[in-house]
Amino acid sequence: MQTIAHMKSKLNKMKCELNKNIELTEDGDNIPSDIYLIEDEHQLQVELNESNRYANFIFSSRLAMYEFGKAIMHEAIFGEGGFQEFYPMEVEASKPEVINGVRMSLDSARIFINYPIES
């Protein structure tokens, strides 16, 4: 088994190219990618503007946006509950965790997605 430091070193040597052919499995074992799990700088921050009634999704990288898209697609295809939530969380001090395939900055607003259970 490879150590995280070894994997990070190996991944840093590779250019992070986004795969245009996305394959999703029902168990979601490929969401998110290994590089996304290792590199904490890939994050989503959601800012709300209540007076103008909009939400601004700010991605720190294209990889962060890509992984968010994969998580949403997986839920659309395989989800059964009619609901998905994304929220910021830290376990270690100032280190955002990946929740439901997405890492959100600690000052981000939460995202709630509701959809029909039947298509």
Instruction: Supply the pLDDT for residue 93.
Output: 84
> Which pairs from 75-84 meet CB under 8 Å and 24+ separation?
75/113, 75/115, 76/115, 77/24, 78/24, 78/26, 78/28, 79/115, 80/117, 81/117, 82/114, 82/115, 82/116, 82/117, 83/112, 83/113, 83/114, 83/115, 84/112, 84/113, 84/115
Question: Whole-angstrom Cα distance, residue 23 to residue 20?
Answer: 10
Which pTM does this prediction carry? 0.83
pLDDT above 50 (res 3):
yes
Question: Whole-angstrom Cα distance, residue 42 to residue 36?
Answer: 7
Q: Is 52 exposed, middle or buried (0-12, 13-18, 19+ CB in 10 A)?
A: exposed
Instruction: Supply the pLDDT for residue 95.
Output: 87
Question: 41-84, pLDDT tens digit by residue?
Answer: 999 999 999 999 999 999 999 999 999 999 999 999 999 999 99
